[in-house]
Amino acid sequence: MAGARFLAVQLDGRALLIDARVIQEVIGQCESVDVPHQSGELDGIFLWNGRAIPLVSLGNLASSGSEQASLSSHSARKRKRTLIFHAAGEWAGLAVDDASEIVELTQAQLLPVRHNPGPFATHEVDDGETIRSVIDLHAVVSRILALSSQRDGAFEQAQVGSGGAA
């Protein structure tokens, strides 16, 4: 039985695995535009194939929960690779320090999370040298959309309170 394929990436010294099915393209360093955003879950926006794509920040999302952020988001522009992915119905980008290889893993190799817990880690893979965390980008985008939706709800309430729509 064929295994699942993952893209191995490095981010802030951590080894991560991303489901290769969601990755559309790996490009170089991207030039993003800062967009003031209340919760800081985005590192900016950049252009890809003529469309504006948000650059997600794993670090700020992790710190928005109760867990301590272990993935910094402060140097998105310095990272040399950008993953373009499609998850939870949206296009987005994730800046990483490196994207090295595609690895194929069987279900038996996907272990429960024990060493590097985080809000978006679903499994760990231990090859004897490195422990890699499998990151669920669907969950990442869903979390951002949920936060955005909460803000939209607050906005709608403010709109009702202000006496009508435009």
Write out the residues near another protein by the rule CB under 8 A. 31, 33, 35-37, 42, 45, 47, 50-54, 89-91, 144-145, 148, 151-152, 155, 158-159, 161-166
Closer CB to another protein, residue 91 or residue 116? 91
The least distance separating another protein from the CB of residue 32, rounded to whole angstroms, comes to 10
CA neighbours closer than 13 Å in the CB half-sphere of residue 36 = 0
The least distance separating another protein from the CB of residue 41, rounded to whole angstroms, comes to 9
Q: Are 96 and 56 in contact (CB under 8 A)?
A: no
Q: Are 18 and 120 in contact (CB under 8 A)?
A: no
The least distance separating another protein from the CB of residue 48, rounded to whole angstroms, comes to 11
Q: Which whole-number Å values give the CA distances from 50 to 43, 47, 53, 82, 142, in the listed order?
A: 19, 6, 9, 16, 24
Closer CB to another protein, residue 112 or residue 163? 163
Q: Are 99 and 90 in contact (CB under 8 A)?
A: no
Quick one: which of 117, 118, 111, 76 has its CA closest to 97?
76
The least distance separating another protein from the CB of residue 71, rounded to whole angstroms, comes to 20
The structure tokens 């794509």 sit at 53
The least distance separating another protein from the CB of residue 84, rounded to whole angstroms, comes to 13
Closer CB to another protein, residue 28 or residue 163? 163
Closer CB to another protein, residue 37 or residue 123? 37
